[in-house]
Amino acid sequence: MKILVVDDEQDVKILFEQRFRKEIKNKEIEFVFAFSGEEALTYLDGNNHEAVLILSDINMPGMSGLDLLGRIKKKFQTPPPMVMMITAYGDKENYDTAMELGADDFLTKPVEFTLLKEKLKAIQ
Q: Which CB sits closer to another protein, 36 or 83?
A: 36
| Min dist. Cβ of residue 109 to another protein (A) | 5
Told to check if 63 binds another protein by CB under 8 A, we report: yes
Told to check if 101 binds another protein by CB under 8 A, we report: no
HEC sequence for the chain: CEEEEECCCCHHHHHHHHHCHHHHHCCCCEEEEECCHHHHHHHHHHCCCCCCEEEEECCCCCCCHHHHHHHHHHHCCCCCCEEEEEECCCCHHHHHHHHHCCCCEEEECCCCHHHHHHHHHHHC
Q: Which CB sits closer to another protein, 9 or 28?
A: 9
Told to check if 42 binds another protein by CB under 8 A, we report: no
The contact set with another protein (CB under 8 A) reads 9, 11, 14-15, 18-19, 21, 59, 61-64, 66-67, 88-89, 93-94, 97, 109-111, 113
